[in-house]
Each structure stands twice: as C-alpha cells, then as structure tokens.
Structure 1
Amino acid sequence: MWLESSLFLANENKAPFWLQANNYGETPETLPSLQLKYSLRNQYDSSRNVLGKLKRVDWAYGTTVVNNFSKKNQFIISEAYLKARWKALEFYVGRRKEIFGLTDTSSTSGSYIWSGNALPIPKIQLHTPGYVPIDKKGVFSFKAGISHGWFGKDSVVSSHLLHQKWLYAKIGNNNSKVRLYAGINHQAMWGGYSEILKNISGPYPPTIDGYLAPYPLYSYQYLLIPFLQKITPPNTQKVTGNDGGNAIGNQLGSVDIGTEIKIHNFKLFIGKQQPYDFGRSIKNLNNIEDGLYTFALNLPHDNLNKIAFEFFYSKSHGRTRFGKVNKSNSGEVDNYFFHGVYQSWSYKNRIIGNPFIIYKSENGAIRYNNRIKYFSLLLRGNIKFANYEIRQAYSLNYGTFGKEFLKKQYSLNLLLQKELNQNWLLQQVFSLDSGSLYTSSFGSRTSLRYMLK
C-alpha cells in the first residue's frame, strides 16, 4: 500500500510527451496540476509448505485511485481488479495495468499493440501469467490467454466490445544461455450500437438497425477463429454488409519474435514486433519492413545497468515494400490503428498501442499520424545521490496516406529517484519537447511517495 502526491508543472498548459505517454491515462494533460494517488495491493501468498510447494489455489486484488486537480479536475480509477490462481492458470476481472507483446516491458518506448498508454479497459481474462513448461526440464514452454472486455461509450459507437487472445512459445530454460521466443496476439473491437451509423446504407452498410453485431454469439465464432470467414462465409442476415465483406469488427495484432542471450552477468534481448491489420499481410509479407525493433542490454554495473535502443518503422502499411509499390495489396493498406467504423484503436481518447501513433480529437479537429520512423534510447543506472533514467526519442512523422506531411520531433525525459528511508520515496522528472509535431515545451513532475510495508 502506498500514497503519493505529485506536482506537475510546464511552461505551456500541456504536459510534454514523455510525461503523458505509457502512464495508463493517469497523467493530467492540462498543467499545472496537483495529483494525489493511492494504491492498495494484496499479493498471492508466496510462502511454501514443507514440500516446497505453493498453494494450489490462491487469490489477490489491487486498486489504484487517482485525483488530478487542475483547470479540469479528474477522478480516475486506473486499477481495480480481483484475481485468482490455480496452478499455472490465473483468472481476473476488472481494470489492470498490462503490456502485451514480446518486448522488454521495463524499458520499451511503447509496445506496438498494447503499451499501457491508455486507461486499462475493464475485462475478464483467463491466462498463464508466466511461461508454462511442457517437458520435465522446462526447455519448451508456452504462455497463452484469452479475454473479453467492454469499451463503453468511447466513439461514434457505444457499448462495443474487446476480444483478445495470444499464444507465445519459448525454447530454453533458466539455465540456458540462449532463449528463443515467438508468438502472436490477436485483438478486436467489435459489436456495439451507433445512432450516427444507423442510417448509412449502400452495398456494405456498417450496421443492421444501428447494431454492429446484432447476433453477438454468432459473430463471436468469427472472432475466435478469424480465418473461419474464408471457410464459411457469414450469414448476411446476421452480419453487417461491412463485416461480411471484410472481417468482424476492427481486427489487428502483431507477430513477435525474440532472442535472449546471457553471457556471464550480461543479458541481451533482441526482438521484433511485426504489426498486421490484414491477414494477408502476414501470409504475403506485404509490410515486412514495418514494426518495432528492440535491442535491450542489462549490464552488471551500478553507474549504468541498462541500455535499451528501439527503432520503429511504419511507413509501408503494405502499400510499398522496400520502396517499391506492392501490387499484392491491390491498393489497400494496413491502416494501423485507424478504422472506418470504430475510428481508432483507442480508449478514452488515448491510443491503446504505441503512443507515437496519433488519432486524437482536439477542439473538434482530428489529428492523424501513423506513418512514422523513430529512434528511442534509454539509459538507466545509479549515481551517488539517486537512481536515474534517461529516455529520449527522435521521430520523423509522415501523417497518413492521403494526408501526408513531414514533422520532426525530439522528446527527452530525465527521472531521478531517491529512497529517503524505508517508507519515503522521492522522484523528480524533467521532460522536454522540441520540434514541429508537438508544441515545444518543458515540464516537470515532483513526487513524494509514502509506502506502508
């Protein structure tokens, strides 16, 4: 359990990029602001019996409540969940902070599909929290899960739903010097009702009397098995013309691969997250150059114990492949995070995935940006008086196909952290934006946390 108070300041009235990004929607956008945060956790029982085994069944809970006081006061419940464990399986219900995709979660600039940039979506989830060994030595293992969530009223569509599933495999156990990882995750926004889209007709109407999935159980089978539409076309009386001609809802995800290498006290992770919107992009490698490339190195040094470099590229969209027009897509593109019906892969006006992609409503105008090239560098370590973390990114932003532009952006974040004693933790953050994508600004966060152990 801990209590925290934070003071946010900026020379403009808006928080710089790194003060907002990947903070689960908790950071106030309008500054100055005073934030009060409270978090309560009850963890699983980690004690073992005389045979050295944990409880077969256990339960836990967590909650985080945030109050932001500024020109626009906010009360946010960013976490509230109840979870239960049985052997290798875990079930939870509620809001919970998570990151999806194969990456170094402690240092990523933003996992492609689910980065922790938006407020957690309420859902129910069944998964394996860690990798589950298949053989006795644990050389082969897997991690999997499935969930169902609720977006609520969040766009031109209301009461729409979330579907998620994922499967990852690992080769190598705790004693292996080299571990190999690979997997895929599948996400979908689907269902719901829209008064705005109700009267749109044509050959591919987006609704049936305003409903995007009037027979949800029937539609769900096509989400559970995405390629089923190729085998058994949906009943046009039960599925909208738009979904019947494409896919049920807005389906997207990533295919991830990675390698972890341990040499003495050094640990290196190299990985790639390959995005997809169309299944044929995976099959035909249409957008093979797009994705998030990660290089993360853990070092056995106090002054510098972490270096993480990431490169993100999303200019192809499957329309071009290494500079040449890709005919296999017939002019269509993997329009990352954007959708003609559900608008965008976002929640509460924040992108769910990589925060460098922009689809945002500001004063009645929509800002678009999903053709990006950026470089991100993180350095972490300890100096005499504090722990530090330096995070910086330089991006080239090209807008979207049909609405191209070129805007250059540099964002810097410096975090200093000092444990005053066993109960008090002090943090100081300085954040800077310089460029043409965002308003050039300088901001800070000063936080004091009291921990009850």
Structure 2
Amino acid sequence: MLKLYITLFLFLFCLSGYAQTGNLHYGIEAQAGVASADRVTFWLRSNRHGSVPSPGASLSLIGRAHRDYDSTRTHLVDWGAGFGGRANAGKESDLLLIEAYGKVRAGIFELKAGRTKDIMGLVDTTLSSGAFAISGNALGIPKVQLAIPEFYPLPFWGGLFAFKGNLAHGWLGEVPIGLTRSRIKEATTYFHQKSLYGRFGKPDWKLKLYAGFSHQVFWGNEDEIYPEGAFKLSPWKEYQYVVMGRRYGGGGVEVSKIGNQLGSIDLGLTYDFSKVKLFAYRQNFYDVGALYYLANILDGLNGLSLENKQHTDKKVQWQKLVFEVLYTKNQAGESWSRIVPSGDEDYYNNYMYSQGWSYRGLGLGSPFISPRASTREGLASAPGDFFINNRLLAFHLAMQGRVQAWTCTAKVSYSRNYGTYGTSVVGHSLGGTRFPPQYGIFEEVGQLSTYIEGNKALPHGLHVGFMAAVDRGGLLDNTGGLIVKFGKSW
C-alpha cells in the first residue's frame, strides 16, 4: 500500500509538467483528534467517503492532488486525474486510499476509471444525511464508468428536456458469502451501476422538474456459489440478467434476481426565487421488490434545500439550509401491509452476501441504517444480520454559513429506531408466511447526533479548522469527539 501511495504521489506531481498551474491543485492537511470513547462519533465518520480517523486519540495526515478540466477552454476533448490518501496513527493505524482516478471528456461524454467520491440520486450533495443507494459513506468502489455527468439539453424545443446518466462496472474483490448451501466462503464479486435522470424546464425557467432512477447490483461467480451444475448461465448471459434486472432460478437455484440489487426512484424540483434557490426531492426505495407493488411506498427520503443567492460583506451570513425526513419503518412488512412475493425489504441485508450493502466494513447507503459494528452492545439482533437497525424515522437539519472569517457547518439529527423485522413482534415475512422473532425484540430507542465544523483561510494558502461532534441516545455509545486541523493548498 505504501508503494502505491508513493507511486500515485509521484505520478500526480509529474502532471504539473503538462498542466497549467491554475488547473492543477495540491493539498496536505494534518489532523489531531480526541474522543471520549473507543468509537468515532457519528458525524465524524459518516458520509466522508471512507476518510475516517482512528477511534480515541489519533493523528492523521491527508494528502490530495487533482487536475480538473480546463473550464476556460472549449476544447472538445479534455482530461483530468485525482488522488487522495489518508494515514492514521492511534489505536488503529492504517493507510487509506480515498480516491485515485483518471478521466477523459469528449463533448458531453465522460469516461472515468478508478476510485472516486460518488453520491447517487437526487439529494443535496453537501448537507444531506445520505442518499439511499450510494451516499458517500464508504470508500468508493473501483470502477470504469461511461457517463453524461451533467444535464444535456436536447437540441429542440428550446432545451425543454435534458438528461444525464451513467453505466459502470466495478470490482468489489473477495466478498464473504452467507448462503448456507454455498460451496465457497468468499466470492470474487462485481458491481453494476446505471442511472438515468431527466429534467423538464427551459434554462431560463424559474421552475424545473426532475425524475429518474438508479440501479446497483453486487453479482458474480454464482456458478461457484451454488451447488455444482445448478447455475447454468454463462458469464455474459449472467451479466445481461443483471443489467435488465431479470429473475432466474430453478434446479437448485432460488428464483430471484441475480445478486444483491437495490436502488431508488427519485423525484425533485428546483425554483429560483430572487434571493433563494429552492430544491425539494423525494427518494423512493427498492431492495427486494416491494416497490413494484407500491407496498413500501411510505418509505423514503424527503428533503428541502434552501441556498442563499445573495453574497454580502455581512459578518454573519447563512449560505445553505437543508431539512430531511427519512422513513424506513414500513418495508412492506407490517401486519397490515400488502402481501408481496418477496416479503419485507430488510433494507441493506442480503441472504447471499453476509455483509449486505457494505464495502470494506462501511455501509454504502444512508448512515442512519446501522451496522452491528457501530451500535452499542446489548441490542437485540439476528446473528446473520450485518445491519441490525434498518427500521427508523429520522429528522436531519443542517446549515452552512459564514461567521466573520470562518466558514461554518452545523448538523443536528434525531432518530427513533426499531431494529429489523426479524427483531420485531411481527417477524420477517416471505409471501404470506410469517416467521416469528427468534433473537429477542428490539425495543424502540432514540438517538441524537450533533456536529459543528469551522474552517478559516489564512495567507499563503494556509488554513485552520476544527470539527466537534456528540452522540447521545440508546442506539450508539454516548461519546464526543474533537478534531483540530491545519493544512496548506497550492
């Protein structure tokens, strides 16, 4: 890993010989942190693309370098690259490759390869509590992606319709398999992702409407997982089933969609007032199939973002305000829910992949859906569940602004948590069959998580800052944490 870091640093340093100075950016930052417990506080670890400090007292060194597209030119073809790494020293010392990628733009298309910082879906990308499918909570999955990254107005009807989307293939490495009949304990696993989003509204309209979907899949080597000879699809045919979301089964293979498939169907709108830009959005979730029947339509992420368009010299000024409500308690699993063949959704857990919708130990989606490793001991849970709390109601308020020379961010999140259907009085469901809970009942608990951050620019590209967070409640350990930082950018 150290050799990889050195190689990437040298590679990106050499870019300066081929790029304009204003197009190439470097940065290095030192952080020192303390915490009142041996776990990192919720908002010091969530939605940070895997860039997480060591628990307890720690020191960190973060380096980054990237070449952006040249925004001052109109060349048909351009390129960029980036690197970000983190070294932690403390109770747990490690080296983390946060991002390392190259990209080429040709007209409206972009080809990108490597590990990147991604968020998928219609959400506020800076202050959201987290998108359902890919929130930026974990390290990016290495992938190759072809995309139209920005909305492209169709050249008729005055740009009334615009669209963007992506198609990606990624590599998760060796992933633990939880299927009891599996012939192997780990399988080489791939990642499929595609999305398509549309916009209705001419460029000069104040109101614009948005809609779209994302589809993500863990898949691969099912012929090695199932009993010998049971899985009969060729790798290419298997990929087609993955892309199309088709069901397959029979002869010793359960009839279902291949791999672990989930995503969201999103709606949104923006409105440009004279002083404020409004962005409202809704994400509807699908995991094992209930959304097709609208059986879990009560679940979703609802958000409202207000951005201040005025820039003044006032000593105190707000810049952005975000309020979200996340509801995942229904899952088509209530006693009164519509019966669906796939049963309750059991968000992020999966019968084949024992670590569910996670990558390298961290959940890929909303951080409010809690893995066992991040929750306090003693909560009821099924032994096979990686995520032991996926039924919840959460309220999230975040603000960004300026106080004199400081840029500040604050977050307050409160949730009511109910475990999973496997630890509820009604139990899991499959079709019309109910399975009573076997491992106790998860008693409803509340959780409050707060966060504040301040950053101040100094002369000569220097900057200082701090981050502080506190957790109080029955889901996570009661803890507090403080990080101070000092860095320089070029």
Unaligned runs of 5+ in 2: 1-25, 178-185, 378-382, 425-441
Per the alignment, residue 46 of structure 1 pairs with 71
CA deviation after TM superposition for structure 1 residue 387, in Å: 1.5
Residue 319 in 1 paired to residue 333 in 2?
Answer: yes
Residue in 2 that maps onto 1:88: 108
Counterpart of 1:430?
A: 468
Paired residues for 1:132-143 under 5 Å:
132-136=152-156, 137-143=158-164
Q: Secondary structure at the match of 2:304?
A: strand
1:12 CA drift (Å): 1.2
Of 274, 298, 319, the residue aligned with 1:289 is 298
RMSD (CA atoms): 2.2
Q: Do residues 420 (structure 1) and 445 (structure 2) align?
A: no
Residues 347 and 212 of structure 1, relative CA distance in 2, 3 Å threshold: farther
Q: Deviations over 1:362-389 (max 9, x none)?
A: 7999551100110000111111241111
Contact 1:317 1:334 in 2 (8 A): yes
Write out per-residue CA displacement over residues 314-344 of structure 1, whole angstroms, 9 at most, x where no aligned residue.
0000123xxx612332581111111001131
Counterparts of 1:48-67 in structure 2, within 5 Å, are 48=73, 54-67=74-87
Cα distance change, pair 112–212 in 1 and its aligned pair in 2 (3 A): farther
Partner of 1:369: 389
Shift of 1:2: 0.4
> Is 1:337 paired with 2:348?
yes
Counterpart of 2:364? 352
Structure 1 residues 99 and 384: CA distance shift in structure 2, 3 A: same
Alignment of 1:61-210 (within 5 A): 61-136=81-156, 137-156=158-177, 157-192=186-221, 207-209=226-228
| 1:7/1:446 contact within 8 Å kept | yes
SS in 1 for 2:204: coil
Query: What residue in structure 2 maps to residue 380 of structure 1?
Result: 400
With the length of structure 1 as denominator, give the TM-score of the two structures: 0.89
2-structure distance, mates of 1:39, 1:169:
33
TM superposition outliers: structure 1 runs of 4+ over 3 Å: 208-214, 360-367
Percent identical pairs in the alignment equals 32
Relative distance call for 1:286 and 1:15 in structure 2 (3 A) is: same
Q: Which moved more, 1:211-220 or 1:111-120?
A: 211-220
Q: State the match for 2:17 in structure 1.
A: none
Among 447, 450, 471, the residue aligned to 1:409: 447
SS at match of 2:159: coil
Most deviating of 78-87 and 384-393: 384-393
Distance 1:25 1:291 in 2: 24
Task: Select the residue among 23, 42, 56 that pairs with 1:17.
Answer: 42
Amino acid at match of 2:345: D
For this pair of structures, how many residues does the alignment match?
A: 424
Moved more, 299-308 or 173-182: 299-308
Picking from 468, 471, 477, the partner of 1:439 is 477
1:308 aligns with 2:322: yes
In structure 2, relative to structure 1, the CA distance for the partners of 1:37 and 1:252 (3 Å cut) is same
Q: Is the 8 A contact 2:54 2:93 kept in 1?
A: no
Contact between 1:143 and 1:167, CA under 8 Å: does it hold in 2? yes
Q: Cα deviation per residue 1:381-422 (whole Å; 9 max; x = unaligned)?
A: 111241111101001110000214212100000011111125
Shift of 1:46: 2.1
- Whether contact under 8 Å (2:349, 2:387) holds in the other structure is no
Task: Please give the per-residue CA displacement for 1:231-277, whole angstroms capped at 9, x wherever unaligned.
Answer: xx56x57xx603xx011111110000001111102111111000001
Partners of 1:108 and 1:86 in 2: CA distance: 31
Are residues 173 and 394 of structure 1, via their aligned partners in 2, closer, same or farther at CA, if it must alter by over 3 Å?
same
Alignment CA distance shift 1:214-1:283 (3 Å)? closer
